[in-house]
Amino acid sequence: MIQVLRDDVVAIYVAAGYGKAGSWNDDKLLAKLGGLVNLAAEGGVELEDDLKEILDQIIGEGVEETEIVANVDEDDEDQQEDDQEEDDQEEDDQEEEEVDPDIEAVETEMEKLEALMKKQKEEIKAKKAALRKKKTEIKRKKGKSRTRGIPGPDVGNPEDIKSLKNRLFFAGIAIRELGIEKGLTDELVAKIDGMAEKENPKASKSQAAFAWHAINGYLNG
* Cα radius of gyration (the chain): 59
In the chain, domain spans = 2-72, 158-220
pLDDT of residue 72: 61
Span 146-161, pLDDT tens digits: 445 445 555 555 555 5
Give the predicted TM-score (pTM) of the model: 0.32
Q: In this predicted structure, what is the pLDDT of residue 152?
A: 53
Q: At what angle do helices 186-196 and 201-220 cross, to 10 degrees?
A: 110
Extended beta strands in the chain, E state: 2-5, 66-69
| 47 residue type, one letter | L
Highest mean pLDDT among 6-10, 124-128, 146-150: 124-128
Q: How many Cβ atoms sit within 10 Å of the Cβ of residue 209?
A: 15
| pLDDT tens digits for range 84-119 | 777 677 666 665 566 688 888 888 899 989 999 998
CA atoms within 13 A on the CB side of 31: 6
Average pLDDT over residues 172-186: 90
